[in-house]
Copies of this chain bind each other. A is one copy, B any other.
């Protein structure tokens, strides 16, 4: 055993999990490995079982995918690092938040049981599962009527992505699953439970995604008012302690140590939301710094000394991202996901062929063609709501829109308009923060979209903010390793660990004044569309359209009446 100490960080994304091994003193990454999920996102059919069609708005996952990451990515990263597992003193993890499990008392997900394997409600409800919009709407309605004190912390709205709407959805539409469920927890909790045998709740996810406010959940009376019989949900299914940020859950069991190629007894840190862990990963802990996690979806976290009611913001939690500050979270439900959808579904063959011939990605092909144009030349404005709108409208029933197409519109033009739309969406979030006295001076960015430098410059131009970028590719996993270092007792707190272990390039992108001014004109049109479709007095045409679609699926599935 050497003098040096090492940590493992594991980051569970939407489509894959990645593990890194880092040096505890410097944060240097020594080994890394990625495991793609086999089942990934099940949103059309239940590929993990009988292949049945799923209703619209569904997004499920199979727990086997996560176990596979622990069994393959972790040992491969350790092997790649050349580090002796005996020198690894802590393991930390982060994962998509509000990704909800329904398990028995031993942590076995109900979907793994023969009885429930073809029941769509027994599966893991991924963060972007939007089947509980109706439940979210009613939870808000009753909370407003009862003036529930915690509602303001969630901007006065509850996303259908939160744990409670998803649990209520199962209670109401799949009582057979609900009845056999002993524990409802989320992916973070389930993973640390599996590793240590100790069931606990993660602080960030509890505060941001489960209405765990000032040390407690919403009351029995409130739940009963929403749905008779649902009152005991928290006491029956979620009766486990919530640990503070940076705490140690327990130690790796023999079985799991063997599976992961680590030593038994290694400290396991409480999990972090994949987004929030990046605040430590990029060391953006001062007020005015917006941590922007730019990936399949985008998450924005900013810390402020004062509490502010900030309508449409996803969650506001004291000490939720950094000890001693109020952490505000906003987000976009789909960003990289929209670009991926577009490249997979809307690009003609010759573009793909060009990419193959030149050995570049389809995104690079499109960017090269799109970047020559002047601002506004394509004549397009899009709404980036292909997966609904999280901030600031909190409405899963909104959908994507593109306006301005002509018979000469080319794929690269629509691609650019979609990129711009997501930047306009980010600007709406930033302006909303500032309108409510939460200042944003700078964006500190990390995530997969950093490699699209055209998008990054657009984001600077359109938001009119300088952007600093993380120099560590796996910022999430690094953040998890930082928390592991604290849990293992190597640093006194997360700030000290982050100061030592993270690296950032300051103001890598700055707004171009000319383009920024031109984008103001397009943003004005975006904003008008945003308000027309998103804040329509009465029933927005977009909502009516979605209602028609949902009705078709209800009839098809025999849910009618």
A337 at the interface (CB under 8 A from B): yes
Q: Give the residue of B375, B528, B544 whose beta carbon is less than 8 angstroms from that of A525.
A: B544
Is B399 in contact with A548, judged by CB distance below 8 angstroms? no
As for how many copies of this chain the complex holds, the number is 2
Q: A352-B349, A377-B553, A525-B544 are in contact. Are A401 and B408 (CB under 8 A)?
A: no
The interface bits of chain A over 392-430 (1 if a CB of B lies within 8 angstroms of the residue's CB, else 0) are 000000011111111111110000000000000000000
Q: Which residues of B contact A529 (CB under 8 A)?
A: 541
A216 at the interface (CB under 8 A from B): no
* A555 CA / B380 CA spacing, docked (Å): 18
Closest Cβ neighbor of A553 among chain B residues:
B377
Q: Which residues of B contact A528 (CB under 8 A)?
A: 541
* A405 CA / B409 CA spacing, docked (Å): 18
Chain A contact-residue range equals 35 or more
Q: Which residues of B contact A399 (CB under 8 A)?
A: 379, 403-406
* A529 CA / B545 CA spacing, docked (Å): 12
A229 at the interface (CB under 8 A from B): no
A436 at the interface (CB under 8 A from B): no
Is A334 in contact with B407, judged by CB distance below 8 angstroms? yes
A344 at the interface (CB under 8 A from B): yes
A2 at the interface (CB under 8 A from B): no
* A375 CA / B552 CA spacing, docked (Å): 8
* A555 CA / B518 CA spacing, docked (Å): 13
Q: Which residues of B contact A374 (CB under 8 A)?
A: 552, 555-556
Is A548 in contact with B379, judged by CB distance below 8 angstroms? yes
Closest Cβ neighbor of A399 among chain B residues:
B404
Q: Which residues of B contact A286 (CB under 8 A)?
A: none
Q: Which residues of B contact A341 (CB under 8 A)?
A: 407, 409
A376 at the interface (CB under 8 A from B): yes
Shortest distance from the beta carbon of A334 to any chain B beta carbon, whole Å: 6
Tell me the A535-561 residues at the B interface (CB within 8 Å): 541-542, 544-546, 548-549, 551-553, 555-556
- 22 sampled A-B residue pairs with Cβ under 8 A: A43-B407, A337-B407, A345-B409, A348-B349, A376-B549, A376-B552, A377-B549, A379-B549, A380-B545, A381-B541, A386-B406, A386-B407, A386-B409, A387-B407, A399-B404, A399-B405, A401-B402, A401-B405, A403-B541, A525-B541, A525-B544, A529-B541
Minimum-distance CB pairs A-B, first 8: A379-B549, A400-B405, A376-B548, A349-B349, A377-B552, A401-B403, A399-B404, A374-B552
- 5 additional A-B pairs beyond A348-B348, A378-B549, A521-B548, beta carbons within 8 Å, are A334-B407, A401-B401, A403-B542, A404-B542, A522-B545
